[in-house]
Structures are given as structure tokens and as C-alpha cells.
């Protein structure tokens, strides 16, 4: 297969490597494999802000608008570009779905092969269809994500494969660019940053990005990092490996996160917290965000919104209570993936079919 790259070295344009080249481990010799990822909207959310109150402003960083509809593309552009630079012809990953979709797309773009190892029966349909459509070799294993990652680590010992999970530092480097974008858009770092935590690469990456921009003087402060795990898959919150993780939020159904230490450091050094939210809270938050702010996210992404609602509720006892935060605080929640990735998670019943006349339709609309 011929290797195809999209952007000649040194060329500016869309995509996180083009935008943040000097902050990333690329040289003129790196062939840039990009689909124009990044530069996602930071959406002000007036209704969420009103819930938090006291003049606080809540924003959602909508990462579902990346090329494969999740934040993984930020790291994948770099991981695949670096793999191609090293002359590797195949990438491999374990995944709960989004990493596999992203790896498959960027491998297709580069003209290299991609193998994805997935927990059988546990991948949301929108993500699985992506891996097939982009032409990846899909292998389902009888086990969970943690088992799949163990196999992938073994595969990665072979010289012909590059692992593109977030244990690959290039993934983390690419993902930190989301923090850069937020600082640039707000003119400074936010006071609080909330995000879902699964394998814990993203919280590690955001913290690295915020620290880098603070050290460079691009930001005057660093946010408190608040991570949220699903209650049935909350190893970091509980302080122990979960052998049989369970949650409707299949993207974060992970019992032994690879970047556990990175998450712990981010939470500790930012004076943040790790908490957990139930599946019911996740689904309620998902529906609330879609119907009140017009932002449709997958269940894992809604964990950050469920977390925000928990932190802002005076009747609850979250790990981090908003009653103590400064007036006018700026709060960012990352919405990591698009809602269409997991259509089965949304419970809906279509209304009755009526005759095609105005009266019947008016009656059915009931407004
Ligand atoms: N949200 C979504 C939509 C995800 O797909 C993931 C991880 C996370 C949050 C958690 O991010 O792992 O960096 O803490 N998905 C991985 C995957 C595990 O295989 O797609 P994390």
C-alpha cells in the first residue's frame, strides 16, 4: 500500500498539528496525517450556568464535533503521523469504541493497516460501524477492555505494530491541545474543568496542556481538575481495581485505567477531585443537556454533566462541592463524544402515526 499524507511538513491549515506544531513532537520529517481535527466549539451554556448560580459561567467543549466524532482524533493524528514517520505499516489498539473508530480513520487516511481489539458485545453500534467502514480488522475478544489492552500490550512488543492507545505518549501530547484551545478562547484557564474518566488518558492530557500554558505565561492559573467515573466502573474513586466493571456508559467501562497515576497526579496537583455518578444520573444528564442546551452527547460524555449537577446540588455530598467556589467562576465540561455514537442508549418511543390532515397532526403535537 502507498503511504498517503495530507499536509506537507511546515504547511499551516486545519488540524491540531498544524495549529500547535511548536508544542508537539513533530519535525519537518514527520508526515502529517490529519483530518482537520480540533478547533471544536466551546459552547456557553446559560441554563447550566443558572443551575450553578452565583454568576458562574459553564461552557461545554464539544469534542463530538471532531472528524470521527470524539476527542480521540486529537491524539490519533499525532500517534499515526509518528507511526508513519517510523516506517510502521500497522497500528493496533484496544478500545471501548472511540479509539478504534479514530485509529481506523487515521490509518485509512495514511494508507496503513489497523487492527482493533474490542470487548465482544460491549461496543456502541455507532462506533463499531465506523471501525468497519474505515476498513479496520476488527477482533472481538471474550473479555472486557482491560483484557483487550493486555493483549494489545503484548502485540506492541512486535516491531511491526504501533500501539495507538493512550499508553502511547503521542496520544496524550495531541490531546493536550484541547486545553490550549480553551485557554485561548477564554483568555485564561478556567477555574474548574470537569471530564469523564475511563482509561484516564484525557484527564492526564488536559492537565499537561494547562500546566504547559501556565508555564509559558499563556494562562495565569490552572483549573481544578474534576474527574467523574461511572459508579459501576469507578476504580480511581474507590482506590481499587474493579474486576467486572459495569455501566451503560460503555466508553468508560474500564476497571484498571492505564493512566491511573496521571489522573491521580492531575487531581492532587490541581487540588481537584475524583467522584462517581450513577447510570441513572448519566442518562438523565444526557437527556437534560440535549433538550435544554441543544448538545447531544454519548453517555460517557454526560458523566461530566451529571458530575456538574451533583457538585452544584446543595443536598448532595459530592467529592467537590460548588458551594465553596468563587463567584463568577468559569467552569468547562468536556463532552467527549457525539450522541449519535450510541443511539441505543436513548430511550424513546415514536408517537402514533396519524392521518395526514392538519387537525389530526395538531392534536398529536399537543402544544
Ligand atoms: N468519553 C468517551 C466518549 C470515551 O470514548 C472515553 C474513552 C472517555 C470518555 C474516557 O477517556 O479513557 O482518556 O479517560 N474511550 C476509550 C476508547 C477508552 O477505547 O475509546 P479516558
CA-to-CA distance for 226 and 334, rounded, in angstroms?
A: 11
Ligand 1 centroid distance, CA of 248 (Å): 13
The protein residue with its alpha carbon nearest to ligand 1, atom 4, reads: 251
**191 and 329 Cβ atoms separated by less than 8 Å:** yes
pLDDT of residue 352: 84
CA-to-CA distance for 296 and 177, rounded, in angstroms?
A: 23
pLDDT of residue 33: 98
Pocket test for ligand 1, best of 76, 198, 276, 338 (most atoms within 8 A of CB): 198
CA-to-CA distance for 162 and 168, rounded, in angstroms?
A: 9
Q: What angle do CA 247, 251, 256 make, to 5 degrees?
A: 75
CA-to-CA distance for 189 and 214, rounded, in angstroms?
A: 8
Nearest to 263 by CA among 166, 341, 348: 166
Q: What is the pLDDT of residues 258-288, one digit of tens each?
A: 999 999 999 999 999 999 999 999 999 999 9
Element (H, E) at 289: helix 279-293
Q: Please identify, by atom number, the ligand 1 atom nearest to the C-alpha of residue 175.
A: 13
pLDDT of residue 366: 82
pLDDT of residue 13: 60
Query: What contacts 366, CB < 8 A, 6 or more positions away?
Result: none
CA-to-CA distance for 200 and 184, rounded, in angstroms?
A: 24
Could you read off the pLDDT tens digit of each residue along the chain, which spans 367 residues? Answer: 444 444 444 444 689 999 999 999 999 999 999 999 999 999 999 999 999 999 999 999 999 999 999 999 999 999 999 999 999 999 999 999 999 999 999 999 999 999 999 999 999 999 999 999 999 999 999 999 999 999 999 999 988 899 999 999 999 999 999 999 999 999 999 999 999 999 999 999 999 999 999 999 999 999 999 999 999 999 999 999 999 999 999 999 999 999 999 999 999 999 999 999 999 999 999 999 999 999 999 999 999 999 999 999 999 999 999 998 999 999 999 999 999 999 999 987 787 899 999 999 999 888 6
Exposed / middle / buried, residue 294 (Cβ in 10 Å: 0-12, 13-18, 19+):
exposed
**208 and 176 Cβ atoms separated by less than 8 Å:** yes
Phi (first) and psi of residue 26, to 5 degrees: -120, 155
The alpha-carbon radius of gyration of the chain (Å, integer) is 20
pLDDT of residue 1: 46
pLDDT of residue 10: 42
Residue 229 Cα distances to 17, 234, 263, 304, angstroms: 30, 5, 12, 9
User: Is residue 163 classed as helix, strand or coil in its secondary structure?
Assistant: strand
Query: What contacts 87, CB < 8 A, 6 or more positions away?
Result: none
**224 and 284 Cβ atoms separated by less than 8 Å:** no
Q: Please identify, by atom number, the ligand 1 atom nearest to the C-alpha of residue 200.
A: 14
**290 and 183 Cβ atoms separated by less than 8 Å:** no
Ligand 1 centroid distance, CA of 317 (Å): 26
C-alpha dihedral sign at 315, 316, 322, 324: positive
Q: Taking CB atoms and a 6 Å cutoff, what residues make up the pocket around ligand 1?
A: 70, 72, 95-99, 166, 196-202, 251-252, 298, 300-301, 336-337
Ligand 1 centroid distance, CA of 118 (Å): 13
Residue 145 Cα distances to 104, 217, 253, 325, 341, angstroms: 17, 39, 7, 36, 18
pLDDT of residue 100: 98
pTM of the prediction?
0.95
Amino acid at each position: 500500500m502507498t503511504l498517503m499524507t495530507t499536509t506537507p511538513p511546515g504547511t499551516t491549515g486545519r488540524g491540531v498539528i498544524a495549529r500547535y506544531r511548536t508544542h508537539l513532537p513533530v519535525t519537518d520529517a514527520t508526515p502529517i496525517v490529519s483530518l482537520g481535527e480540533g478547533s471544536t466549539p466551546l459552547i456557553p451554556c446559560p441554563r447550566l450556568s443558572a443551575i450553578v448560580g452565583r454568576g458562574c459561567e459553564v461552557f461545554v467543549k464539544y469534542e463530538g464535533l471532531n472528524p470521527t466524532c470524539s476527542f480521540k482524533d486529537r491524539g490519533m493524528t499525532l500517534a499515526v503521523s509518528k507511526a508513519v514517520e517510523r516506517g510502521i505499516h500497522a497500528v493496533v489498539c484496544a478500545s471501548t469504541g472511540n479509539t478504534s473508530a479514530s485509529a481506523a480513520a487515521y490509518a485509512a487516511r495514511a494508507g496503513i493497516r489497523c487492527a482493533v481489539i474490542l470487548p465482544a458485545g460491549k461496543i456502541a453500534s455507532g462506533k463499531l460501524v465506523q471501525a468497519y467502514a474505515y476498513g479496520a480488522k476488527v477482533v472481538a475478544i471474550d473479555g472486557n477492555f482491560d483484557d483487550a489492552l493486555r493483549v494489545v500490550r503484548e502485540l506492541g512488543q512486535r516491531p511491526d505494530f504501533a500501539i495507538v492507545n493512550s499508553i502511547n505518549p503521542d496520544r496524550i501530547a495531541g490531546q493536550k491541545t484541547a486545553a490550549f484551545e480553551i485557554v485561548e478562547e477564554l483568555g485564561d484557564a478556567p477555574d474548574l474543568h470537569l471530564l469523564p474518566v475511563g482509561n484516564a488518558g484525557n484527564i492526564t492530557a488536559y492537565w499537561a496542556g494547562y500546566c504547559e500554558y501556565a508555564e509559558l505565561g499563556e494562562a495565569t492559573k490552572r483549573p481544578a481538575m474534576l474527574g467523574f467515573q461511572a459508579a459501576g466502573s469507578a476504580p480511581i474513586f474507590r482506590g481499587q481495581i474493579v474486576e467486572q466493571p459495569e455501566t451503560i456508559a460503555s466508553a468508560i467501562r474500564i476497571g484498571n485505567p492505564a493512566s491511573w497515576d496521571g489522573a491521580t497526579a492531575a487531581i492532587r496537583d490541581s487540588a481537584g477531585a475524583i467522584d462517581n455518578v450513577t447510570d441513572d444520573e448519566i442518562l438523565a444528564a444526557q437527556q437534560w443537556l440535549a433538550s435544554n442546551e441543544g448538545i447531544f452527547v454519548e453517555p460517557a460524555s454526560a458523566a461530566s454533566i451529571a458530575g456538574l449537577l451533583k457538585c452544584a446540588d446543595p443536598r448532595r455530598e459530592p467529592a467537590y462541592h460548588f458551594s465553596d467556589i468563587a463567584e463568577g467562576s468559569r467552569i468547562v465540561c468536556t463532552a467527549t463524544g457525539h450522541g449519535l455514537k450510541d443511539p441505543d442508549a436513548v430511550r424513546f418511543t415514536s408517537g402514533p402515526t396519524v392521518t395526514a390532515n392538519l387537525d389530526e397532526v395538531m392534536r398529536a403535537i399537543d402544544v
